[in-house]
């Protein structure tokens, strides 16, 4: 049976029951409403920023008319948030795809955005086609760690959580191995703090999804240790304290924070 994609990070299949206090916590509601984003760990950010937008999109004789049409069709496609008019959505995507086929130089601009939109709408198979194409097309231009992260995201989009966790753990090990190899030449590292943090968050969420509570607890403790070291200025050389803390702040809602969520999870796991 497939797990509920709407709330992958807070699965009701786990043997642990939420306490009334935790259910009332504002961050719990935020995590529930944004569970898909937490589990995918910002697919759009990684695919668009680290992979698709690392190089400059150049205009290669794209006519002004086609450019305007592409923008119009993409706007129409993304405007159907509630899928109130499926036929119009399909038609807009079909028209945009035709323009892209005629002008391949438009793929870098739209392909990843289309994949992200389809994924968040639950159209995982269609999203995978666009995302896979984008990854293959740009893999030679990008660092392998970011490509691996994006490829693992496609596994999660297709509910292959066990494989996704295995890929995330493998990616973390590879990053740590490279850190040891390049400890005297850190400028050669092929990843940054943000990717390491995104992947670590993904590991914790997948361990929760798969009811691997002992492993999840260990991952949250690692996160807390990195947060503490960020404040102390004692992080390992391959991570930047301010960037790690900034990532923590991105996951805040009002007075709630990721730290509140972690503390709640630890209490549930250890009670």
Inter-residue contact 201 to 149 (CB < 8 Å): no
pLDDT of 17 reads: 42
Q: What average pLDDT does range 173-181 have in this prediction? A: 93
pLDDT of 180 reads: 92
**Final residue before a domain boundary, out of 141, 161, 177:** 141
The token duo for 131 is 């995302």
Other beta carbons within 10 angstroms of residue 16's beta carbon come to: 12
pLDDT of 266 reads: 93
The token duo for 144 is 């392998």
Inter-residue contact 193 to 86 (CB < 8 Å): no
30 pLDDT band, cuts 50/70/90, is: low
Same domain, 129 and 147: no
pLDDT of 70 reads: 85
pLDDT tens track for 200-233: 999 999 999 999 999 999 999 999 999 999 999 9
Give the residue from 198, 182, 175, 178 showing the smallest Cα distance to 247. Answer: 198
- Pairwise CA distance, residues 265 & 271, whole Å: 10
DSSP state of 60: S
User: Looking at the 3D structure of the chain, how many domains does it have?
Assistant: 2
pLDDT of 34 reads: 56
SS3 for 180-214 is HHCCCCHHHCCCCHHHHHHHHHHHHHHHHHCCCHH
Judge whether 89 lies within some domain: yes
- Pairwise CA distance, residues 250 & 253, whole Å: 9
Same domain, 136 and 235: no
Q: What percent of the chain has pLDDT over 70?
A: 71
Match 């990070």 to its residue by tokens: 9
Same domain, 30 and 75: no
pLDDT of 59 reads: 45
Same domain, 34 and 168: yes
Judge whether 50 lies within some domain: no
Q: Which domain holds residue 264?
A: 1-42+142-271
User: What is the pLDDT of the chain when averaged over all its residues?
Assistant: 76
Torsion angle in degrees (nearest 10) through CA of 112, 115, 117, 120:
-130
Judge whether 47 lies within some domain: no
Match 């301010």 to its residue by tokens: 242
- Pairwise CA distance, residues 82 & 212, whole Å: 34
pLDDT beyond 50 at 31: yes
Crossing angle of helices 124-138/144-157, nearest 10°? 170
Backbone angles phi, psi at 256, to 5 degrees: -85, 160
């Amino acid at each position: 049976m497939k797990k509920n994609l709407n709330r992958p990070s807070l699965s009701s299949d786990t043997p642990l029951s939420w306490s009334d206090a935790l259910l009332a916590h504002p961050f719990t509601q935020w995590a529930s409403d944004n569970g898909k984003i937490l589990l995918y760990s910002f697919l759009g950010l990684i695919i668009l920023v680290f992979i698709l937008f690392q190089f400059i999109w150049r205009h290669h004789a794209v006519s002004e008319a086609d450019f305007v049409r592409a923008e119009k069709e993409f706007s129409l496609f993304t405007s159907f948030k509630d899928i109130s008019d499926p036929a119009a959505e399909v038609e807009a995507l079909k028209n945009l795809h035709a323009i892209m086929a005629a002008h391949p130089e438009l793929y870098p601009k739209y392909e990843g955005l289309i994949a992200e939109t389809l994924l968040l709408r639950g159209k995982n198979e269609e999203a995978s086609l666009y995302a896979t194409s984008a990854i293959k097309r740009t893999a030679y231009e990008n660092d392998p760690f970011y490509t691996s992260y994006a490829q693992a995201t496609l596994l999660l989009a297709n509910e292959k959580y066990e494989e996704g966790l295995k890929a995330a753990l493998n990616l973390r090990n590879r990053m740590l191995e490279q850190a040891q190899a390049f400890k005297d030449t850190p400028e050669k590292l092929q990843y940054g703090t943000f990717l390491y943090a995104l992947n670590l968050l993904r590991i914790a969420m997948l361990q929760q999804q798969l009811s691997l509570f002992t492993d999840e607890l260990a991952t949250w403790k690692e996160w807390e240790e990195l947060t503490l070291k960020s404040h102390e200025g004692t992080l390992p050389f391959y991570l930047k304290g301010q960037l790690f803390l900034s990532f923590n702040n991105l996951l805040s809602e009002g007075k709630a924070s990721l730290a509140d969520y972690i503390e709640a999870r630890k209490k549930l796991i250890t009670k």
